[in-house]
Amino acid sequence: MKVPFGDLKTHYQAYKVPIDKAVARVLESGHFILGPELERFEKDFEEYLGSGYVAGCASGTEAIYLALAACDVGPGDEVIVVAHTAVPTISAISMTGAKPVFVDVDSASYVMDVTELESKITENTKVIIPVHLYGQIVDMDAILKIAAAHKLKVIEDVAQATGATYRGAKAGTIGDFGAFSFYPSKNLGAFGDGGAVSTRSRENFDRLVMLRNYGQSKRYHHDVVGINSRMDEIQAAILSAQIPFVDEWNQRRCEIAKRYTQGLKNIVLTPAENTASTHVYHLYVIQTPHRDDLQNYLLDRGIQTLIHYPIPAHLQKAYSYLGYKPGHLPVTERLAKRILSLPMFPQLTDEQIDEVIKGIRDFSAEPSTTSNVSKFEKASQTR
Ligand X SMILES: *Cc1c(COP(=O)(O)O)cnc(C)c1O
Cα–Cα distance for residue pair 69/88, rounded to 1 Å: 16
The least CB distance from residue 339 to ligand X, in Å, is 14
The least CB distance from residue 340 to ligand X, in Å, is 17
Confirm if 284 and 272 have CB atoms less than 8 A apart. no
The least CB distance from residue 133 to ligand X, in Å, is 6
Cα–Cα distance for residue pair 364/268, rounded to 1 Å: 9
What residues form DSSP beta bridges with 341?
285, 306
Stretch that binds ligand X, among 9-17, 116-124, 153-161, 244-252 (CB under 6 A): 153-161
Cβ-based nearer residue to ligand X, 183 or 324: 183
The least CB distance from residue 140 to ligand X, in Å, is 16
Q: Is residue 164 within the footprint of ligand X (CB under 6 A)?
A: no
**Residues between 72 and 91 that touch ligand X (CB under 6 A):** 85-86, 88-89
User: Running DSSP on this structure, what letter comes out for residue 214?
Assistant: T
Query: Of 195, 226, 271, 289, which lies in the binding site for ligand X, with binding defined by CB under 6 A?
Result: 195
Q: Is residue 42 within the footprint of ligand X (CB under 6 A)?
A: no
Q: Is residue 181 within the footprint of ligand X (CB under 6 A)?
A: yes
Stretch that binds ligand X, among 137-145, 156-164, 233-241, 314-322 (CB under 6 A): 156-164
Classified as helix, coil or strand, 276 is coil
Displacement of CA 292 from its chain's centroid (Å) = 24
Query: Of 26, 59, 291, 319, which lies in the binding site for ligand X, with binding defined by CB under 6 A?
Result: 59
Query: Of 157, 232, 233, 333, which lies in the binding site for ligand X, with binding defined by CB under 6 A?
Result: 157
Classified as helix, coil or strand, 93 is helix
Q: Is residue 288 within the footprint of ligand X (CB under 6 A)?
A: no
Q: In what order do the strands lie in the sheet with 53-57?
A: 53-57, 195-199, 177-181, 153-157, 125-128, 78-82, 99-103
Residue nearest ligand X by beta-carbon distance: 60
The least CB distance from residue 7 to ligand X, in Å, is 18
Cβ-based nearer residue to ligand X, 88 or 289: 88
Cβ-based nearer residue to ligand X, 57 or 267: 57
The least CB distance from residue 357 to ligand X, in Å, is 26
Cβ-based nearer residue to ligand X, 81 or 360: 81
Q: Is residue 235 within the footprint of ligand X (CB under 6 A)?
A: no
| DSSP per-residue string spanning 6-72 | --HHHHHHHTHHHHHHHHHHHHHHT--BSSHHHHHHHHHHHHHH-SSEEEEES-HHHHHHHHHHHTT
Q: Is residue 229 within the footprint of ligand X (CB under 6 A)?
A: no
Cα–Cα distance for residue pair 236/128, rounded to 1 Å: 29
Query: Of 107, 160, 270, 288, which lies in the binding site for ligand X, with binding defined by CB under 6 A?
Result: 160
Stretch that binds ligand X, among 53-61, 69-77, 141-149, 237-245 (CB under 6 A): 53-61
Q: Is residue 339 within the footprint of ligand X (CB under 6 A)?
A: no
Q: In what order do the strands lie in the sheet with 169-170?
A: 169-170, 165-166, 277-278
Cβ-based nearer residue to ligand X, 160 or 352: 160
186, 169, 130, 187: which is closest to 278 by C-alpha? Answer: 169
Sequence-ordered strand ranges (E) for 45-202 = 53-57, 78-82, 99-103, 125-128, 153-157, 165-166, 169-170, 177-181, 195-199
Angle among Cα 322, 327, 331 to the nearest 5 degrees reads: 105
The least CB distance from residue 313 to ligand X, in Å, is 11
44, 375, 3: which is closest to 239 by C-alpha? Answer: 44
Confirm if 284 and 344 have CB atoms less than 8 A apart. yes
Q: Is residue 135 within the footprint of ligand X (CB under 6 A)?
A: no
Confirm if 331 and 314 have CB atoms less than 8 A apart. no
Q: Is residue 95 within the footprint of ligand X (CB under 6 A)?
A: no
Query: Of 26, 61, 164, 238, which lies in the binding site for ligand X, with binding defined by CB under 6 A?
Result: 61
Contact positions vs ligand X (CB under 6 A): 59-61, 85-86, 88-89, 131, 157, 159-160, 181, 183, 193, 195
